[in-house]
Amino acid sequence: MILPGSTLGVLGGGQLGRMFGQAAQSLGYRVHVYEPAADCPASAVANRTFTAPYEDAEQLAAFARSCAVVTYEFENIPVAPLQAIAGLTQLHPRPEVLEVCQNRLREKRWLKREGFPHVPFAEVEAGGDLAAAIRSIGVPCVVKTADFGYDGKGQQKVTDETTLAAAVRAFAGARAVVERYVDFSCELSVIVARSATGETRAFPVAENIHTRHILDLSLVPARVPDAVAAEAVALATAIAERLGLVGLLAVELFLGRQGQLQVNELAPRPHNSGHWSIDGARTSQFEQHVRAVCGLPLGDPGVREPSVMVNLLGDVWRDPTGPAPQSPDWSVVLRQPRAKLHLYGKATARVGRKMGHFTVVGPTLDAALGEARAIKTRLDA
Ligand code: AMP
């Protein structure tokens, strides 16, 4: 067990690292952050920040030696240097887990091999025949880059010969995955924690609404039958166990029109769809992450009150494409007693950039959703 007073290391200095650091410090830990970019959101709450590339084996080793355990907030980290630091300190999740989850092809092959429900797909190697893969899956389908994709970046929907030709041009030479387009009734996610002791606890299922491929709202508890929620939790827990994961795993799922669940993506880290837990759960996902990697007893992830989390993208800033975007009037959120505002301290707002979020809790999910939507409309006005 790694006790409070020890130093925890986090690879990646974005908002997830920042909120991990805040939770770790509340429990009395020290926090070291490793991030290539200067002035990252997590550095503001870190006891020490290592600013160096992920390929810098020397800096990574110095970072690792300064920490009792290292974890990630970001999965697009080259695996080779991580394997090197795994011998210097505890590293959770294991680099092998990251290797599966950071590449769509490996992730999908793994889900298929292990027998977990997933969206049918075809593989295209670099320079391979994308058009043939699209024809084998059929339209509509979605073409995604195999490496380093997130938030809909590097993906394109194909519906006919014109969009097929456009995808062939856009993905020329890239490794890709072609997936059947899923006509889902909703998108769900489950965040499960697995501790170094093998204990697992899953957060209640979140219902996620995306706008332009980026998470817009998360509603908890999800508006799905209890049996579906139980199946989603069982699936996520089984995946975490099969991966031998220590830390947090977010499992994104599609719920089909006939009630069937299919895994879309895995992320071995805290997840945007778990931010509601800071204000709406008995234990936040960030505290749970700390507990899991330190081998502490896991906290109760239960819902305190139905919650709706709304992402705040740079789009809500005034003139977000201009030279000096202006932040909106935050009193619109702050005046509401049931709303909590979280800003990530990012200096520059850009369209599509996650700048913060707010969570509204309520006596019912409908009440929280109504208030969240009203606040968002006023911010957008
Ligand atoms: P991803 O980066 O794979 O999580 O995709 C981002 C979002 O795009 C998902 O949350 C879905 O809203 C949408 N999407 C991705 N793949 C598919 C698919 N095969 N069928 C339908 N929608 C999809």
- Look over the chain and give the mean of its residue pLDDT values, rounded to a whole number: 95
Query: Best substitution site from 105, 185, 264, 311 to test ligand 1's pocket, by max atoms within 8 Å of Cβ?
Result: 264
Asked if the model's pLDDT at residue 150 lies above 80, the reply is no
pTM value is 0.95
Specify the pLDDT at position 273.
98
The protein residue with its alpha carbon nearest to ligand 1, atom 7, reads: 213
Specify the pLDDT at position 148.
63
DSSP state letter for 59: H
How close are the terminal C-alpha atoms of the chain, in Å? Answer: 50
Mean predicted confidence (pLDDT) in 102-130: 94
Query: Best substitution site from 178, 213, 255 to test ligand 1's pocket, by max atoms within 8 Å of Cβ?
Result: 213
- Rounded-to-integer distance, Cα 288 and Cα 193, Å: 7
Amino acid at site 256: G
Ligand 1 centroid, distance to 254 Cα (angstroms): 9
Percent with pLDDT over 90 in the chain: 86
Specify the pLDDT at position 146.
83
Closest ligand 1 atom to 150 CA: 2
Secondary structure of residue 311 in the 3-state scheme: strand
Closest ligand 1 atom to 142 CA: 19
The 10 Å Cβ neighbour count of residue 1 is 10
Phi, psi (rounded to 5 degrees) for 131: -60, -40
User: Which residues lie with the beta carbon below 6 Å from any ligand 1 atom?
Assistant: 119, 142, 149-152, 179, 181-182, 187, 210, 213, 252, 264-265
DSSP state letter for 273: G
43-102 tens-digit pLDDT = 999 999 999 999 998 999 999 999 999 999 988 888 888 887 889 999 999 999 999 998
Ligand 1 centroid, distance to 110 Cα (angstroms): 19
Closest ligand 1 atom to 182 CA: 20
DSSP E strand stretches across the chain:
7-11, 30-34, 48-50, 69-72, 90-91, 121-124, 141-145, 155-158, 176-180, 184-194, 200-202, 206-211, 214-220, 247-256, 261-267, 307-313, 339-343, 354-361
181-212 tens-digit pLDDT = 999 999 999 999 999 899 999 999 999 999 98
Element (H, E) at 60: helix 57-65
**Helix, strand, coil % over all residues of the chain, rounded to 5:** 35, 30, 40
Q: Read off the tokens for 242.
A: 């099969």
Asked if the model's pLDDT at residue 149 lies above 70, the reply is no
Percent with pLDDT over 70 in the chain: 98
The protein residue with its alpha carbon nearest to ligand 1, atom 5, reads: 152
Mean predicted confidence (pLDDT) in 274-291: 98
At 35, the pLDDT band (50, 70, 90 cuts) reads: very high
Ligand 1 centroid, distance to 151 Cα (angstroms): 8
Ligand 1 centroid, distance to 157 Cα (angstroms): 10
The protein residue with its alpha carbon nearest to ligand 1, atom 17, reads: 181
339, 274, 352, 343: which is closest to 313 by C-alpha?
352
222-268 tens-digit pLDDT = 999 999 999 999 999 999 999 999 999 999 999 999 999 999 999 99
The protein residue with its alpha carbon nearest to ligand 1, atom 13, reads: 213
What would the 3-class secondary structure string for 224-238 be?
A: CCHHHHHHHHHHHHH
The 10 Å Cβ neighbour count of residue 77 is 18
Ligand 1 centroid, distance to 195 Cα (angstroms): 29
Closest ligand 1 atom to 183 CA: 21
Q: Residue 8: beta bridge partners?
A: 31, 69
Q: Domains in the chain and their CATH numbers?
A: 7-91 (3.40.50.20), 120-180 (3.30.1490.20), 184-380 (3.30.470.20)
Ligand 1 centroid, distance to 256 Cα (angstroms): 13
DSSP state letter for 117: -
Mean predicted confidence (pLDDT) in 155-165: 94
At 276, the pLDDT band (50, 70, 90 cuts) reads: very high
Asked if the model's pLDDT at residue 5 lies above 80, the reply is yes
At 291, the pLDDT band (50, 70, 90 cuts) reads: very high
Q: Give the max Cα distance, the chain.
A: 60
Ligand 1 centroid, distance to 152 Cα (angstroms): 7
- Rounded-to-integer distance, Cα 28 and Cα 190, Å: 28
Mean predicted confidence (pLDDT) in 342-356: 94
Mean predicted confidence (pLDDT) in 110-115: 98
- Rounded-to-integer distance, Cα 159 and Cα 222, Å: 30
Quick check: 289 and 301 in contact, CB under 8 A?
no
Ligand 1 centroid, distance to 213 Cα (angstroms): 7
User: Which residue did the predictor score with more confidence, 127 or 331?
Assistant: 331
Apex CA 3: angle with CA 33 and CA 65, to 5°? 40
Ligand 1 centroid, distance to 114 Cα (angstroms): 22
Secondary structure of residue 87 in the 3-state scheme: coil
167-186 tens-digit pLDDT = 999 888 888 999 999 999 99
List b or e across 150-164, with b for residues whose CB sees 16 or more CB atoms inside 10 angstroms.
eeeebbbebeeeebb
Mean predicted confidence (pLDDT) in 313-323: 88
Closest ligand 1 atom to 149 CA: 2
Specify the pLDDT at position 187.
98
Ligand 1 centroid, distance to 201 Cα (angstroms): 26
Ligand 1 centroid, distance to 150 Cα (angstroms): 10
* Packed helices 79-86 and 57-65: angle between N→C axes, nearest 10 degrees: 40
The protein residue with its alpha carbon nearest to ligand 1, atom 8, reads: 213
Which residues, other chains included, contact 173 with Cβ-Cβ below 8 Å and sequence gap of 6+?
Answer: 126, 127
Asked if the model's pLDDT at residue 151 lies above 60, the reply is no
